[in-house]
Structure 1
């Protein structure tokens, strides 16, 4: 200790300063009179031009994002007329189609009270079931970033999203 002042102790990088009064707020070190390097007031306009170019100037009901990681899945979507939380789209990004799984929209078959004839069995000669009996075929669609299931892809290659976060477009 020289002249009544305590000697400055070296700082240990793992534990921090030896004296807690030596701490300095990061706000004290920031010069607010200079505009930050990472701020660009024109960036929103540039982003809007990019999105319009991607959409080819078509209007969209919503921009769709993954509910788990907020990754953008679709810039050009159409809201379902009846189910307002569902959307359909043809052009997507950051989506993976699960080709190893098939989902079927089966038609409800009414149970017949009549007894079935024993000699009339199913047609075992055809390997493909008829569409009327099986319904529409869908494949699950997942977010390619976090693998959250966000919708399905139908046979006509239209994406149907039901587990997404919509944003105003």
Structure 2
């Protein structure tokens, strides 16, 4: 049985005919720089960050773990918990003011388990409000009564 003209045409245009398949890379002229390429972009970004920090240093630049949005340019790493940071100035963060968390601090115990006269903090404890990424609403930390942000769910990068 001989093939009809339609079958022969389909065979010529099929991707399995490797002699006629042309890669997209063969059509791209790499001698021309793309219009979105800027060789000075890193220097411009560094200058912008230095202007925002006003000469102060930071332990990291913090980003949202879900959408990679920048949350903080200037922060300090926690002394004990190395994956936690605190900051005063943030960007792209929103505070959930309708939700409040309270830490209950118990009195310090002496060596033998008895209560000492010193307390760890005021009896009422501290009040915290959740802080979320303003882009994707992922919870990234909390803010305390003194308006200090405590980040614990972030991606740090070298600053």
In the TM superposition, residue 85 of structure 1 has moved relative to its aligned partner by: 0.8
C-alpha distance 59-109 of structure 1, shift in aligned 2 (>3 A)? closer
Q: What corresponds to 1:89 in structure 2?
A: 87
**RMSD (Å) for aligned C-alpha atoms:** 2.4
Taking the aligned partners of 1:136 and 1:153, their CA distance within structure 2 comes to 10
- 1:162 aligns with one of 130, 152, 155: 152
Taking the aligned partners of 1:25 and 1:102, their CA distance within structure 2 comes to 58
SS, match of residue 166 in structure 1: strand
Residues 21-36 of structure 1: pairs in structure 2 closer than 5 A? 21=17, 23-36=21-34
- Unmatched runs of 5 consecutive residues or more in structure 1: 1-5, 10-16, 111-130
Give the TM-score normalised by the residue count of structure 1: 0.73
Question: What stretches of structure 1 move > 3 A for 4+ residues in a row?
Answer: none
Name the larger-Rg structure.
1
Taking the aligned partners of 1:149 and 1:66, their CA distance within structure 2 comes to 9
Taking the aligned partners of 2:65 and 2:128, their CA distance within structure 1 comes to 21
SS, match of residue 27 in structure 1: helix
In the TM superposition, residue 133 of structure 1 has moved relative to its aligned partner by: 3.3
In the TM superposition, residue 108 of structure 1 has moved relative to its aligned partner by: 2.6
Residues 56-135 of structure 1: pairs in structure 2 closer than 5 A? 56-108=54-106, 132-135=122-125
Give the TM-score normalised by the residue count of structure 2: 0.78
Q: What corresponds to 1:46 in structure 2?
A: 44
- Unmatched runs of 5 consecutive residues or more in structure 2: 1-5, 109-120
Taking the aligned partners of 2:105 and 2:31, their CA distance within structure 1 comes to 68
